[in-house]
Amino acid sequence: MFASIAAVGWLADRLGQSVIPFYIVIGMVASEFVVGRLDLPAELWGVALPAEIYVTETEFIELGAELGIVFLLFFLGLEFNLDRLLARRTQIGSAGTIDFLINFPAGLALGWLFFGSALPAFLVAGIVYISSSAIITKSLIDLGWIANDEAEPILGTLVYEDLLIAVYLAVAGALVLGGGDPTQAARSVGVALAFLVVLVVAVQFGTPAFERLFATDSHEFIVLRAVGLAVLVAGMALALGVSEAVAAFFVGMALASTGHVQQIEELLEPLRDLFAAVFFFWIGLVTDPLAVAGAAGLIAVAVLATTPTKVLSGYLGGRAFDLDARRSARTALAMTTRGEFSLIIATLAVSGVAAGTIPGPVGERISAFAVGYVLVMAVIGTTLMQYSGPFETAVQARFGEPSTEQ
């Protein structure tokens, strides 16, 4: 696995491309769904070949992918602090609400068009609404946009989406697994919100304690304490039905107010990049190209319908932060990517089949649609960000004001 990731990473660097699509595609190629289906000879030039040469989804890879999400969102949190978040709450609220009001109803309409019933439509709405915090954060870092003005509306909207999706997942989980029990849904939402309140309080008042926790000259202890804290809180979130990504973001935000943030970033950056690569590889590994091909029509319709809605809401979100047309265009392109949360919702659909709340063919089709949609949108989103220049120029010429920025 690591050899193939390193090889395609080198290739992407040589071609000047984003590594993310390469990691996803090599994961798909190495999976049981591609290499595993090849009719390979038992031996080659007299040398016996292994019976299984494909990579399986082991517990190690699944855990590595989870850590990739945790570290990416942890670093996203390090770029924020609570005071800065609260100072821009009006703009974040405006951009996030615009994003929700445009994209969630579009997803509901698509879901009803595809499946003709309420629960599948609700799941499809979540799949197409939520952008990928992990992939977008990685792209911002790779492109050097993380310190630019457009990073603030992008990250602010992602925070809004992540908080909202924590509630969404609690409701969706109760509806899918609990047979639509409103009491269970309300209890799950209450637990999620209470946990988030505890995290906010820790971020606001925990700075002195975090300062003492990291007051050491040992790099080993700093790494262990940062990883231990992030993974512990993320694990607690998962146990309570809250997104581990949201929890990791709050841990990063808590440490952003300390004097150790730069040292933590420098020491944990290799870990973040390693496990982020495993996360993207895992997306490809669990993607069956034949299942995706079977849902190609749904995916094509969804891509054509939801890429423009994300571009529109992203552009308006940039404007809500008083950015010019060019930087708002960058915001628009960045928000098109979908990823990890959509896959989590896809697993809910499969669980719904087992629980009897969703018919088998519908659940399987939603799952195939989600993985294919995530794969296509991950490639489209990262490519749009990498080659944003012509789009920025066109938007600037049509809607912009004179700008001296390069």
Taking only the tens place, the pLDDT of each residue in 121-135 is: 999 999 999 898 878
What pLDDT does 51 receive? 66
What pLDDT does 75 receive? 85
Could you tell me the pLDDT band of residue 32, with boundaries at 50, 70 and 90? confident
What pLDDT does 178 receive? 63
What pLDDT does 231 receive? 93
> What number is the average pLDDT over the span 353-368?
84
Is the pLDDT assigned to residue 257 strictly greater than 50?
yes
Name the residue with higher pLDDT: 44 or 206: 206
> What number is the average pLDDT over the span 39-68?
80
What pLDDT does 399 receive? 81
Could you tell me the pLDDT band of residue 94, with boundaries at 50, 70 and 90? very high
Task: Say if 39 falls within a structural domain.
Answer: no
Is the pLDDT assigned to residue 390 strictly greater than 50?
yes
Task: Say if 287 falls within a structural domain.
Answer: yes
What pLDDT does 342 receive? 83
Select the highest-mean-pLDDT range: 6-15, 310-319, 334-343, 351-360: 310-319
Q: Give 100's Cβ-side CA count (13 Å radius).
A: 16
288-300 confidence digits (pLDDT tens): 888 788 889 999 9
Task: Say if 311 falls within a structural domain.
Answer: yes
Name the residue with higher pLDDT: 278 or 244: 278
**Which residue from 188, 161, 160 is spatially nearest to 172, judged by alpha carbons?**
188
Query: Which residues, including other chains, have CB under 8 Å from residue 245's CB and lie 6 or more apart?
Result: 69, 70, 72, 73, 133, 134, 162, 234, 340, 341
Task: Say if 17 falls within a structural domain.
Answer: no
Task: Say if 38 falls within a structural domain.
Answer: no
- Which CATH number goes with the domain that contains 117? 1.20.1530.20
Q: How many domains does the chain have?
A: 1
Is the pLDDT assigned to residue 406 strictly greater than 50?
no
What pLDDT does 310 receive? 94
Mean pLDDT of the chain, nearest integer: 85
Is the pLDDT assigned to residue 226 strictly greater than 80?
yes
* pTM reported for the whole predicted model: 0.76
What pLDDT does 223 receive? 93
188-213 confidence digits (pLDDT tens): 777 777 888 888 888 888 888 999 99
Task: Say if 317 falls within a structural domain.
Answer: yes
What pLDDT does 97 receive? 95
Is the pLDDT assigned to residue 101 strictly greater than 90?
yes
Is the pLDDT assigned to residue 324 strictly greater than 70?
yes
Task: Say if 103 falls within a structural domain.
Answer: yes
> What number is the average pLDDT over the span 105-112?
95
* Cα torsion angle, 161, 163, 169, 175, sign: negative
150-159 confidence digits (pLDDT tens): 888 998 898 8
Instruction: Tell me which residue range forms the domain holding 329.
Output: 59-397
Task: Say if 224 falls within a structural domain.
Answer: yes
Is the pLDDT assigned to residue 8 strictly greater than 80?
yes
Could you tell me the pLDDT band of residue 108, with boundaries at 50, 70 and 90? very high
